[in-house]
């Protein structure tokens, strides 16, 4: 047997140290560390984390018919999946590295993978079926979005709602340790979407006759043709989306960030990545945990307790990867409504003949003026609904406590 370089007292060559597996592991570590750095620093580059998902890019393009620049990255990675099975999972996915580490820990503790069906591809088909009606059902399960959501803004770490996403991600890691490979091999829609792309490429290369031999289930399970299962998945997703949208099961009334598309499509298209909350300099974007509709849970809402939506800021729209928030320019801001202000004269200081002009003074769009009331012999604040954008400045600076005399309501 040939002696190794160490036995001869020589250092091994770099090419001997950098094996394929070591190079792949190093790349994944760099991607994980880089993702954490970008997310914790709230860098504008954070859009690239969920934006790198071909699952998010393809579903968003289908649901909105709008191509954002960041979608090009996800679509490019999807094209690579046509030639190399789960290339992104093997080389770049930071969540995959976390789950592989959890699987390794689980195996060390004596846990073994269990047999069963893989439902990840069903999640993909249901989501794409729903996207035809603008209601992608399971887009929020994208792993890169889940990772991004695990890093809430530092200013909100004291809030219970901000810890929902980190706890969800931690729960997935723990569950994967208890049931090795349960996420990457059986559940992850991003990995499953890459499998479908590779299957489609193989079917196209080999001819239509071979498509009946490609299955969407794990070995040992009942084998159905891809065409049949694809049709059933897309049809079920389309039916589910039509129920939610046209029968109006979800009637969410929430104040959304500027540029938000109408609900319930917003709730379905939002990936819960938290990019908008991290990017907001006013820190008025929080996570919805009070909604009675499960489709709206963890979606971004506006609260004007300490600040308002600045007239010179469109940062949240620039970091949304899915199109749930449409890209706005500063010139669009005065014409984009988040809600509308409403005055409660029973609380207003002017009703008690006290001097106050806070709502008019702070309104950046000149949407508040005063009208003399002959009935009450007082000045009443009146809202110009054409100018009011619902930015919340009036509510933030209204001096009445504990309830505000002027509040922002959802415009119906």
pLDDT at 244: 74
Q: Where along the chain do its domains lie?
A: 25-34+41-246, 339-412
Query: Count of CB atoms within 10 A of residue 233's CB?
Result: 20
Confidence (pLDDT) at 213: 45
Q: What is the pLDDT of residues 353-364, one digit of tens each?
A: 888 999 999 999
* Residues in the chain, pLDDT under 50: 1-2, 5-7, 207-224
For residue 251, report the phi and psi dihedrals to the nearest 5 degrees.
-120, 60
Q: What is the pLDDT of residue 377?
A: 75
Which helix (H) or strand (E) segment holds residue 125: the answer is helix 120-131
CB 166 within 8 A of CB 150: yes
Distance between CA 104 and CA 346 in Å, rounded? 63
Residue 175: CB partners within 8 Å, gap ≥ 6?
Answer: 182, 183
Dihedral sign for Cα atoms in the order 21, 22, 23, 24: positive
CA–CA distance, 204 with 238 (Å, rounded to integer): 25
As to burial, measured by CB atoms within 10 angstroms (0-12 exposed, 13-18 middle, 19+ buried), residue 39 is buried
Q: CA-CA distance, 192 to 86, in Å (whole number)?
A: 9
Per-residue CA distances from 17 to 5, 21, 97, 172 (Å): 11, 10, 21, 33
Pick from 354, 352, 367: which is nearest to 408 by CA? 367
The CATH class given to the 339-412 domain equals alpha beta
- How do 340-343 and 406-409 pair as beta strands? antiparallel
Per the CB < 8 A criterion, the answer to whether 286 and 159 are in contact is yes
Strand extents, DSSP E, 322-401 = 340-343, 368-373, 378-383
Which parts of 41-93 fold into alpha helices (H)?
A: 48-51, 54-64, 71-81, 87-91
d(CA 30, CA 146): 19
Rounded to two decimals, the pTM is 0.87
Neighbouring CB atoms inside 10 A of 151's CB total 24
CB atoms closer than 10 angstroms to residue 402: 4
User: What is the model's pLDDT at position 71?
Assistant: 92
DSSP assignment letter at 383: E
Residue 53 has what pLDDT? 97
Question: 3-class DSSP state for residue 401?
Answer: coil
- Is 102 buried (19+), middle (13-18) or exposed (0-12) by CB count in 10 A? buried
């Amino acid at each position: 047997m040939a002696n190794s370089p160490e036995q001869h007292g020589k250092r091994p060559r770099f090419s001997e140290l950098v094996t394929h597996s070591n190079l792949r592991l190093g790349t994944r570590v760099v991607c994980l560390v880089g993702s954490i750095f970008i997310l914790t620093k709230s860098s504008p580059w954070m859009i690239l984390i969920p934006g790198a998902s071909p699952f998010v890019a393809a579903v968003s393009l289908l649901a909105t018919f709008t191509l954002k620049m960041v979608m090009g990255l996800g679509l490019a990675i999807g094209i690579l999946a046509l030639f190399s099975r789960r290339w992104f999972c093997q080389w770049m996915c930071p969540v995959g590295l976390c789950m592989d580490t959890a699987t390794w820990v689980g195996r060390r503790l004596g846990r073994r993978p269990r047999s069963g069906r893989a439902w990840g591809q069903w999640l993909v088909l249901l989501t794409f079926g729903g996207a035809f009606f603008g209601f992608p059902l399971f887009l929020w399960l994208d792993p890169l979005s889940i990772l991004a959501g695990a890093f809430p803004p530092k200013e909100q770490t004291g809030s219970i709602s901000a810890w929902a996403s980190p706890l969800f991600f931690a729960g997935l890691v723990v569950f994967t340790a208890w049931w090795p490979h349960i996420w990457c091999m059986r559940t992850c829609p991003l990995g499953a979407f890459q499998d479908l792309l590779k299957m489609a490429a193989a079917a196209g290369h080999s001819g239509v006759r071979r498509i009946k031999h490609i299955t969407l289930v794990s070995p040992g399970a009942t084998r159905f043709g891809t065409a049949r299962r694809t049709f059933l998945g897309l049809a079920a997703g389309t039916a589910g989306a039509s129920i939610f949208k046209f029968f109006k099961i979800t009637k969410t009334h929430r104040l959304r960030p500027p540029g938000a598309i109408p609900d319930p499509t917003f709730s379905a298209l939002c990936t819960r990545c938290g990019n908008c909350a991290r990017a907001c300099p006013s820190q008025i974007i929080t996570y919805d945990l009070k909604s009675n509709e499960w489709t709206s849970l963890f979606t971004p809402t506006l609260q004007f307790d300490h600040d308002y939506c600045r007239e010179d800021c469109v940062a949240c729209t620039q970091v949304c990867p899915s199109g749930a928030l449409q890209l706005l320019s500063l010139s669009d801001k005065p014409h984009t409504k988040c809600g509308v202000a409403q005055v409660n004269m029973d609380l207003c200081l002017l009703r008690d003949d006290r001097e106050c002009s806070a709502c008019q003074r702070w309104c950046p769009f000149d949407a508040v003026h005063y009208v003399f009331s002959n009935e009450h012999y007082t000045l009443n604040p009146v809202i110009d609904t054409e100018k009011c954008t619902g930015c919340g400045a009036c509510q933030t600076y209204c001096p009445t406590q504990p309830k505000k005399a002027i509040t922002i309501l959802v415009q119906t």
